[in-house]
Each structure stands twice: as structure tokens, then as C-alpha cells.
Amino acid sequence: MFWSIFLVALPAVHAALIPSVHDHNDESHAVSSRLPDTWYQPDDHPVHALFKRGAPGDGTNYPAVGSPTWSSAYPVTSPDVNQLPKEWVNALNAAVSAGKIPNIPQSSNTPGVNPVYPAGSDPNGQQVCSATYKCRIPGDIWDGPTGTFSISFDDGPTPVSSTLLQFLQAHNEIATHFVIGVNILQNPQVFQDIINAGHDIAVHTWTHPYMTTLSNLEILGQLGWTTEIIRNSTGGRVPKYWRPPFGDSDARVRAIAQEVFGLTTVIWNSDTEDWSLTSGGTTQSQIRDSFIKWLTAPSKTPGIVTLEHELSTESVTAFMNNYPMIQPNGWQTGSLARLIGSSVYQNSKDPNSPVALAGIVVGASTPSAGNSSASGTSSTSQSSQTQTTTSSTSTGNGNQSSQTSNAALVSRDIPWNLAYILIAFCAPTLTAMVSILA
């Protein structure tokens, strides 16, 4: 009888002593069930080592957006290739050595004229496949899902972004903002307003150059610093999408974006040319005619992906004037990043979901004052799997909560589970011996 009661009671005692995997260390709030356990990219993709957040205590910190410490970590103009974090350069070199980056010559261009490749390089050929020349590479995004109108804006944040945000909020819309790095430095409060309003953030390079005219290292700087400032300003979220300025990308550029930073290239299929409203290149009337043509087309396949800008009062006005026509013509509106994919960021579903921490967290880069290459400093991972560890999980507003590692708790359960199995196995023999002695 004693052993029967003991065996029945043992699991309850074990459950009482071992905390649930959902328990927190002195935290009163629960972990969201939406917490993803993997990143968008495979575990062996370089982006994990470049941008994964560090565990508490490894030195990683996120300075307040707009503070001197925050801004001093980044270049104020075109990135210096001699000041790039070594982790980025190593990842690029590894991709080149593996044959993942095509050996395509740089293009050249005169401002306002499409880039030109050297003789013998066909921009429409499979090897080069320039997006400027409307050559499409499988995997790049040009079209939206059938019946959808993807809302996105380039070149923010700018002072006129505030007017756009008010309009979007009034109409219960979320947009994808392809942001420029130096514009974030110059307009940190506007950038925070975009984030706090729940909008989606993607990469539009650091200084808005023609990307195919750049060297591999220059491309690395343009994409890397923009990805870095987004990550360090959004609670650790790593962008998933990027849009090349002027739509200027090719097989080499998009390969660097994908293979080093895990970024998917996004172009467009409907150009408003609103950027030229201030220079007389187009008019509000012409943009309206374009909207009418797109929205009343006989087919809703493919979905509409426009090129629009939060660049000037005129460009924002163009969107606001034509937005009322979209839904009455039978189109579903939504943020581009949400319509074309399952998640907005590589490590988070959207701005309101937690940040994924899959496996052991390594290599988080840390901005520090006065050193533009400080973000290349790697942190040391925690290697013990038998101790209880805590991981930093970011909420939508960048605040952190402490989450006990599931793997560590499972490891802590092992001795109890083995003991329980051993006792259960030996119980019949022990019971028989007690009966004989009795």
C-alpha cells in the first residue's frame, strides 16, 4: 500500500517543485502564445550571427532612439568601406567563395539616366538581369496577391510623414515604410511615431544610391547599416524586405542582400512617378488618371504594388486624394509586407509580436558611442544547456521581459524523470519484498 500511494503522489510532488515552461522569473506578465521559435531564415544563414539579439548580461544594449549614443554608432553619410563590421565582411567573403554572389561588373550612370553596363553584359540577360530594365529574377517581389492593393511608401522618415500617419490612422490602414538610414538619423522622432503607430519597416538603403553602380563592399554598407539601425530602434526586429532606390538591382546586388542579410528584394508593378511632382515631371491629374486605369482594369491579377513616396507634401497628397477610389473598386488594401508574406520581420511576425530567439543566441552587434564600426563587435553566446537561462524578449514598444529557457527547464526535468522511471520499474519487486517481510 505504501508504494502504491508513493507512486501516485510522486508526479504531483514533481509538478509542484518544477516550474512550468511558461513561468517567469519575478515577472507578472505572460509570454504571448504568438512567440515564434524560429527565424524566417534557416539557422545556418549568416543573418543569425550578424543580427541575433544577445542574452541578458552579454553587453548588448539598445540606446534610446534619438540619443547621442544611438546616433553616434552610425555613419552620417555614405558608409566608409574601411569601417564596416568585420562580421559583415566575413559573411560577404564566405558567400563569394561559395559561389553565391555572381561576378557581374558594376554599372555606371549619369543622374537621371538608367545605369549602363560594360560592353558584353546584357542587362536583360540571365546573368545580369537588371530590374531597371524590367528583368525579373525568381523570388523577387513585383506583384501582389490577386485582388490586393499593397500600401507602401519610400524615402521616409521625413517631416511630411506625420501628415501621412494621421491619414492612415484615420482610415485604419497600416503601411510598409521603406526607410532611408540617414533620414532616420535626421528624423528620429518621426521614425518613432511610425513604429509606435504599428507600421511595418523595411530597408531602402543608407543614402539612396544606384545600387548596381556600387562595389560589393559599398552594397554591404548601404544594406548593413540600414538593417542595423532598424534592428536597434525597433526592439531587435530584423527587417525582411528591402527595395532598391530607383528600382536599380541585378543578380549581384540582390544576391548580397539575400545571402548576407536575408533580405528579399521588392520592386513594383505600378509607378505613380509622384517623386517628380515637385519638379514638373508629373501632375496630380496624371497620377489620378493612372490610378483610375489600374483600379478599373478588367482583371485583378496580379495585385497592385505601387511606387509611392513620403517625400513631399505633394506626393503624400497624391496618395490621400486617390485612396478613396481603391476599395470601392473592389480592391483589398493592406500593408505590402503583410500581404506578400507570413511575417513582416525575419524574427517577428509584426511590430506587435515578440522577437524570436531560436536556440543559443550569438553574435548580437552593439552600437556604442563614437565608433561607427562598433556594431561589428560580437558577443559571446551562453554555452551551458544544463543551467536555467533567461532570454531577452522584446515587446512592441521595445520593452524587454525575461523568459525562462524551455530547453533549460527540460534539462532540469531530466533527473526527476529518470528517478521516476527507475522507481516505477523497481516498485513491483520492492512491494513483494515488503509483503514477505510483513
Active site residues: 154, 309
- SS3 of 239, please? strand
- SS3 of 377, please? coil
- Distance, first Cα to last Cα, the chain: 12
Residue 185 main-chain phi, psi, to 5 deg:
-60, -40
Work out the number of other CB atoms within 10 angstroms of the CB of residue 6: 13
* Strands in 144-260 per DSSP E: 148-156, 176-179, 200-203, 241-242
Q: How far apart, in whole angstroms, are the C-alpha atoms of residue 235 and residue 249? A: 29
The DSSP call for residue 381 is P
Work out the number of other CB atoms within 10 angstroms of the CB of residue 298: 4
Are 257 and 265 within 8 A, CB to CB?
Answer: yes
Work out the number of other CB atoms within 10 angstroms of the CB of residue 201: 28
The DSSP call for residue 40 is S
Q: How far apart, in whole angstroms, are the C-alpha atoms of residue 283 and residue 263? A: 34
In one letter, which amino acid is 308?
E
Are 164 and 321 within 8 A, CB to CB?
Answer: no
Work out the number of other CB atoms within 10 angstroms of the CB of residue 322: 21
Are 206 and 240 within 8 A, CB to CB?
Answer: no
Q: Determine how β-strand 148-156 pairs with β-strand 264-265.
A: unpaired
